[in-house]
Structure 1
Amino acid sequence: MSTETPESEITSRPAGKAARERIYKYVFFACAGLSVVITASILILLAKESIAFFGMFSPVEFFFGTEFLLSREQFGVLPLVSGTLLVTVIAASVALPVGVAAAVYLSEYASDRARSVLKPALEILAGIPTVVYGIFALVYVTPFLRTLGLPVNTFNTLSASLMVGIMIIPMVSSLSEDAMSAVPDSLRQAGYGMGATKFEVSTGVVIPAAVSGIFSSFILALSRAIGETMIVVVAMGSRSRLIDFQEPLQNLWMGNQPMTAAMVQINAADNVSGAGFNSMFAIGLTLFAITFLMNLASNRIAARYREEYE
């Protein structure tokens, strides 16, 4: 007598359970579709208002203009882009090495007890309102930098960028630690079997094997830094400036205005013109394009260097 179970008995479900599965499928599909609709709606709104702006103001002057002053109706976006990139570079110089080092410790060195305490403590930083970071930068970080002898203004780029970097450390460390933890222990054991130290295994085996996930965490964190608003509004000032390559340190001591802060300034202005108001959407579309390209590059690079383990 055959003991094989017919396939129909394995795959068949009661009618009630099958109906619930169909409901779950439709609910999940609706949630996925809603996210796409919301993103498309935002993009359409930005494009619509940006087209209206470019009907009143030259696209060439917008993308290549070197002055952004609402009072004079000068809407050159280059100073805003340069301010945004400056904040991002400084924040990255803080967050990326610290975040990866924290991830290596949590993944390779920390005990289970230490990891259970340190990882949630790190992630608490992500839950602090960003306006608190901005106030902290203005009230504490700037005076501290002055005690170190740095000639920073009250509103300056350095303190705001440092706080943005601290804010995105949890994103880098958490995602990088997840990528490192996914590396099979067999690779580590192979390294130890060849006489490698823990540091050599961490830097020569684990990090290269998890590089796609680590790089993805970099791009996501930098996208978060580019879109940060309240820290730079509170601590960085509201005067846009092009980066001065002849005196690079002056860029750090003085205030600046990234794209997000300019959008807040436009929205808060009392007597802004039609072109001035619509410029907010053109800046938003430019910011959307930058973050989209960064995430697209991240996906391509992650797919190129992704390692699959069985």
Structure 2
Amino acid sequence: MSPALPILLALGLGLAAWLFARARALTFRANSTSKRHSALPSHFGWYAALWVAVPMALFLLAWGPISSQLVMADVLDSPAAQDLPAFGQQRMAILAEARNLASNPGGPNFYDEARTLAQVYAESSQFYTFIGVGIALLIAGASAVYVYLRLKPDLAARNHVERMVMGVLLAFSLVAILTTLGIFATLVFETWRFFGMVSPLDFLFGVQWNPDPMSATEHIDASRYGAVPLFWGTLFIGAIIAMIVAIPVGMMSAIYLTQYANPRFRAWAKPALEVLAGVPTVVYGYFAALTIGPAIRNVALMLGVSNPSSESALSAGLVMGVMIIPFVSSMADDSIAAVPSAMRDGSLAMGATKNETIRRVLVPAALPGIVAGVMLAISRAIGETMIVVMAASTAANLSANPLEAMTTVTVQIVALLTGEGSFDHPTTLAAFALGFVLFLVTLALNFIALRVVKRFREAYE
């Protein structure tokens, strides 16, 4: 079923219901002697439109995946499917090609069986589409009859519409919560499977990371799955090097823009600074890999450093810090601006210089908000993917030398899930365990930062 069909059908019938109910409400008003009415004609229209469109749209959205399963069952039960391979990639490729040929008969054909199955697929899809549309029209008709019987002059249509709209808004707000719960449940399930093969202690405290995707699942060497080098690389690049760049530059720029810059300079300097936040991270990654990394390596060789890496932690951390600068600057700017002006004016009135007022009054007062912004920036940095994938190494290295190659959790997640690894092998499942740890760390940092911001706001409200 085409994704546009449920939308167009629901909108069309909903519009018809809206026009009919609104016209009927106008008739009620024309025949009424009272000057006061329970609702506007548009409320009657929206009441009818929502009752007709929403149930039908929900059914059609649910019918899409149901009909896909029914179509696949019909295809597999057809005589043409008896010669398909029982399992494996070839079977999946033939079925996928048949599905593509059913929607695009002139498309490429690599398997003879797919052409025959495509005809069965097209006929079955058309059959279940007609059934779905028919049931949807019955639902819309039943809803229309219900609305027609309910349309009376004393109907509190406005209250009903407001409750319906509130329900729709609640459903949309639940999407984010349910998505987070779905991600969390998936990570927990796959991590549990991984820890059934590799001990959590070996994973969380082991210092050797060298997974072997070719090893048999019956003979897993748990000592090869020590994630400490990955955790250290993530913290060293994202929470140390990047923050050494982002925090001073972001703080100083925020202080200058809020306290020293004239309005004309601030009017273009602040948007120019925030443009950095809109640059795609893949551009930063190219910049780090092609420019910063080789430049750092050449400078290190000139200074006599032996074997510096062009995929060093320093190159990835520096570029990541530049990317985080607008984030830190914006949070510090908002925190300093939120400090009551009476504190600044009082300090200046007592003879303190502007510099002393900033150092001893404004920054200490805004410190909770600044700290919260820094924590959110760290959370953003350790979850960054593209910069470290392109600029950092895949070699796990437990070192404090920023000129050496290091890897991060996100780099290894990409590496482990790239290719054709089996999802019942610990090498692939290790990506979910790493993702689960990263999820918990970033969630904790975000929660703490939001709590700090809340207390900071309460202190000045």
| Letter paired with 1:277 | T
Deviations 1:273-302 (A, max 9, x none): 611111110000011111122223324444
Give the alignment partner of residue 368 of structure 2, picking from 212, 215, 240.
Answer: 212
Matched, 1:102 2:258: no
TM-score (norm 1): 0.87
CA distance 1:193–1:28, change in 2 (3 Å): farther
Q: What is the rounded CA distance, in whole Å, between the counterparts of 2:332 and 2:369 in structure 1?
A: 6
Matched, 1:173 2:291: no
Provide the residue aligned with 1:138 in structure 2: 289
Provide the residue aligned with 1:184 in structure 2: 340
- How far off its partner does 1:68 sit? 1.4
Matches within 5 A, 1:155-170: 155-170=311-326
Provide the residue aligned with 1:263 in structure 2: 413
CA contact (8 A) 2:282 2:386 kept: yes
| Letter paired with 1:255 | A
| Letter paired with 2:318 | L
| Letter paired with 1:91 | A
Which ranges in structure 1 are unaligned for 5 or more consecutive residues?
Answer: 1-13
| Letter paired with 1:230 | M
Q: What is the rounded CA distance, in whole Å, between the counterparts of 1:30 and 1:198 in structure 2?
A: 51
CA contact (8 A) 1:209 1:307 kept: no
CA contact (8 A) 1:157 1:254 kept: yes
- How far off its partner does 1:271 sit? 4.2
Q: What is the rounded CA distance, in whole Å, between the counterparts of 1:270 and 1:234 in structure 2?
A: 21
| Letter paired with 2:351 | G
Give the alignment partner of residue 80 of structure 1, picking from 225, 230, 238.
Answer: 230
- How far off its partner does 1:115 sit? 1.4
- How far off its partner does 1:30 sit? 2.9
Q: What is the rounded CA distance, in whole Å, between the counterparts of 1:117 and 1:161 in structure 2?
A: 28
Deviations 1:153-187 (A, max 9, x none): 12111010111111111000011101111222221
CA distance 1:197–1:124, change in 2 (3 Å): same
| Letter paired with 1:187 | M
- How far off its partner does 1:27 sit? 4.3
| Letter paired with 1:31 | F
Matched, 1:228 2:384: yes
| Letter paired with 1:51 | W
CA contact (8 A) 1:212 1:303 kept: no
Deviations 1:103-145 (A, max 9, x none): 1111111122211211111111111111211111122112332
Give the alignment partner of residue 173 of structure 2, picking from 32, 41, 62.
Answer: 32
Matches within 5 A, 1:243-282: 243=399, 248=400, 251-271=401-421, 274-282=425-433
CA distance 1:180–1:259, change in 2 (3 Å): same
Give the alignment partner of residue 436 of structure 2, picking from 273, 281, 285.
Answer: 285
Provide the residue aligned with 2:446 in structure 1: 295
- How far off its partner does 1:24 sit? 5.3
Q: What is the rounded CA distance, in whole Å, between the counterparts of 2:355 and 2:164 in structure 1?
A: 50
Q: What is the rounded CA distance, in whole Å, between the counterparts of 1:196 and 1:309 in structure 2?
A: 22
CA distance 1:180–1:21, change in 2 (3 Å): farther
**What secondary structure, in the 3-state scheme, does the structure 2 residue paired with 1:252 have?**
coil
Q: How many residues align?
A: 292
**What secondary structure, in the 3-state scheme, does the structure 2 residue paired with 1:148 have?**
helix
Aligned residues with identical type, % of pairs: 40
CA distance 1:169–1:23, change in 2 (3 Å): farther
**What secondary structure, in the 3-state scheme, does the structure 1 residue paired with 2:311 have?**
coil
Provide the residue aligned with 2:280 in structure 1: 129
TM-score (norm 2): 0.59
- How far off its partner does 1:147 sit? 4.5
Q: What is the rounded CA distance, in whole Å, between the counterparts of 1:208 and 1:96 in structure 2?
A: 16
Q: What is the rounded CA distance, in whole Å, between the counterparts of 2:452 and 2:359 in structure 1?
A: 20
Q: What is the rounded CA distance, in whole Å, between the counterparts of 1:219 and 1:139 in structure 2?
A: 30
Q: What is the rounded CA distance, in whole Å, between the counterparts of 1:187 and 1:25 in structure 2?
A: 43
CA contact (8 A) 2:296 2:310 kept: no
Rg larger for: 2
Q: What is the rounded CA distance, in whole Å, between the counterparts of 2:283 and 2:391 in structure 1?
A: 11
Q: What is the rounded CA distance, in whole Å, between the counterparts of 1:117 and 1:28 in structure 2?
A: 37
| Letter paired with 1:80 | L
Deviations 1:27-55 (A, max 9, x none): 44333322111111110000011111111
